[in-house]
Amino acid sequence: MSNTTKGAAGVQGTPTPTKGEKIELSKLAVKPSSQEQKETPNQEQEKFLSVEDRKKSFVMFEKLLEKHSKLAETKFKIESFEIGSDEANQTLKIEDVNGLSFRTGNPTLIRDVIQLIKTQVSEACTAAELEVLKFKI
């Protein structure tokens, strides 16, 4: 006959065998607390997304990649621009949705506009790259 006392680990209810008595291993099994049991299904759900969720996630990832690629291409093109010192070799034309346009050949103005575009595109490209790197499927 065994006594139920604090066992070696100090756990209440652990059977302590009397001399010559055998203990069933099933009685020594550690049972998870109710809180641990509740956490396990949530952890498994987080690890395994449904097929539809994975598809949606993949589509979103593809869109981020496409956005980054377009910005990287634009950045490459804008960095290839060369501005001369005379007005005959270059023209900047801006046109709005109503068809109104502004045209200039001033190299200083063109250089400033190109620099502004380079800065904006470079920042957007860096932000898109970070989005791609941080994305979790």
Q: Is residue 29 part of a domain?
A: no
Q: Is residue 40 part of a domain?
A: no
Does some domain include residue 96?
yes
Q: How far apart are CA 81 and CA 31, in angstroms?
A: 70
User: Does pLDDT of 11 surpass 80?
Assistant: no
Residue 77 falls within a domain, yes or no? yes
Q: Which domain holds residue 129?
A: 51-134
Cα–Cα nearest to 30, from 4, 9, 49, 51? 9
pLDDT on residue 37: 54
Is residue 127 situated within a structural domain?
A: yes
pLDDT score recorded for residue 27: 54
State how far the Cα of 131 lies from the Cα of 10, in Å rounded to an integer. 51
Please tell me the total count of domains within the chain. 1
Q: What is the pTM of this model?
A: 0.57
pLDDT reported for residue 119: 96
Per-residue pLDDT, 114? 93
Q: Is 32 within the bounds of a domain? A: no
Residue 130 lies in a domain: yes
CA–CA dist 121, 20 (Å, integer) = 81
Does residue 109 register a pLDDT over 70?
yes
